[in-house]
Structure 1
């Protein structure tokens, strides 16, 4: 017990030292809980960190934009279900466009496209800069008026009896049942603008001609003096060359080049029609301008 008691016996100098240590601890505790240790240097670091985070967020946004599907110029009349979905159109908006086109009607402006599909102003502003209409829509020529005199017989004629479609006048065309003044002018305009018909199937390209009317026209007319054309080799053509063909836009041309590389060249037109987005309904028109040599 005596040894234990000796441990708690302090001199006057030791007691003063212990008292001073206790006071110092209390002072430090008070300072710790009452004094704000933040500094301007810390604030500066916070601003730098905020700037760094903003820069990282900006880079993430750029990366996100790069991963989004690219939009190439296209004719809105030939929007498929998949194409409409990637553009942000709803099923109802896509169906309205298809219903309009199934009636053999054409959209000729961004405003008309919105009127038919009822898409929002925001979506129209986003996709309309990529609309690509034919030159005859964007740069219409003056119309020439003709008078109708009579109607051709519906009975088909042989090749020799038919009139050359490349020399027929609007007045002659207007005599076919179902061909009025506007349609006859439109056929002549299309012919003159394209430098003449290459084949009878090109009548399908004339806006407003129904299959029944085309059949009646071909009972009386046919292409006899087709202009010579330079066909593109599908296995060597570039993207810029492919988009010169009607109904092939930059997106489809891009898919054609991809598939051509994977297949090591196309062997037949049937293989080409399997390319993603290829306008199969217009294959007979497209075929006129291609070769597989």
Structure 2
């Protein structure tokens, strides 16, 4: 142990020198450095005008970003407001339910005032959203009613007297009361989506903008005489994948149809579809065109 604590003169001098350096560095760290930092901080000057301008710029950029993140409203037809759309517009659940009930009765809103009468929205909300209302052209710019010959106004035409809806031209359709250039083109465009055209007159309900009154006027003069040929699906043996190929049926409705079929040992009539859970009753006649019972 003695060898570890006995030093030469040079070693002792080195140890004392090292201790001296450590003490000096500690004094510099505790006394000199804080004073230098304090002196430097006193030399820093703040330009209040520039600082305020900088803060104002930051605030303006923040406001721009907030506005950019807000949901944007684009022109829309108030007849097709969904639950989510109504909520984003600020409508209450009760107001949305009134609108949906009105539409479920196959009625259409054709003015801003009628929208408020049906939904009961406040004046302030109406003033905020009504500038975005976009009604069909036949509502905003109705064409004057034409007086047609007596052949259009007398007793109903027989099947033989009516024109084939699958061969009618836009010009011929415009002779019907309530049909203008836009609606006649929509009818033909929808008809041409399918090779062979319409299957039955009820498909006119699928054409956007046609009210029940206008459809009635059309079927007084036209009817489907050359229906499109389709392979009807047997509802009592169809799979879910087969059912979803039919317009207006998704997988949820398809599974509900199969569940009803299993519980009741098959369908005896296509009218039983209205008893299926969540079935779109307003589209039942169109859906029935693609189904059969075997």
Q: TM-score, normalised by structure 2?
A: 0.52
Written as runs of structure 1 = structure 2, the 5 A alignment for 1:232-271 is 232-271=233-272
How many angstroms apart in 2 are the aligned matches of 1:93 and 1:213?
Answer: 27
RMSD: 3.2
Q: Deviations over 1:227-280 (max 9, x none)?
A: 211001111111122122222222111111111122222121232221111122
For structure 2, which runs of at least 5 residues remain unmatched after alignment?
Answer: 1-78, 84-91, 110-118, 122-144
Bigger relative CO (Cα 8 Å, ≥ 6 apart): 1
2:244–2:251 CA contact under 8 A, matched in 1: yes
The question of 1:95 aligning with 2:98 is answered yes
Going from structure 1 to structure 2, the CA distance change for 1:240 and 1:151 (only over 3 Å counts) comes to farther
1:150–1:175 CA contact under 8 A, matched in 2: no
Going from structure 1 to structure 2, the CA distance change for 1:261 and 1:91 (only over 3 Å counts) comes to farther
Per the alignment, residue 226 of structure 1 pairs with 227
How many angstroms apart in 1 are the aligned matches of 2:232 and 2:174?
Answer: 32
For structure 1, which runs of at least 5 residues remain unmatched after alignment?
Answer: 1-75, 81-88, 106-115, 119-147
Per the alignment, residue 207 of structure 2 pairs with 206
Structure 1 position 219, deviation (Å): 1.3
Written as runs of structure 1 = structure 2, the 5 A alignment for 1:129-144 is none
Written as runs of structure 1 = structure 2, the 5 A alignment for 1:140-151 is 151=148
Which contiguous aligned blocks of 4+ residues in structure 1 show a shift greater than 4 angstroms?
76-80, 148-152
1:191–1:197 CA contact under 8 A, matched in 2: yes
2:273–2:284 CA contact under 8 A, matched in 1: no
Going from structure 1 to structure 2, the CA distance change for 1:92 and 1:240 (only over 3 Å counts) comes to farther
Per the alignment, residue 191 of structure 1 pairs with 191
The question of 1:280 aligning with 2:284 is answered no
How many angstroms apart in 1 are the aligned matches of 2:94 and 2:236?
Answer: 36
Q: TM-score, normalised by structure 1?
A: 0.52
2:200–2:227 CA contact under 8 A, matched in 1: yes
Q: Tell me the secondary structure at the aligned position of residue 273 of structure 1.
A: helix
Per the alignment, residue 292 of structure 2 pairs with 291
How many angstroms apart in 2 are the aligned matches of 1:90 and 1:254?
Answer: 29
Going from structure 1 to structure 2, the CA distance change for 1:227 and 1:201 (only over 3 Å counts) comes to same
How many angstroms apart in 1 are the aligned matches of 2:82 and 2:283?
Answer: 13
Q: How many residues align?
A: 172
Per the alignment, residue 45 of structure 1 pairs with none
Per the alignment, residue 108 of structure 1 pairs with none
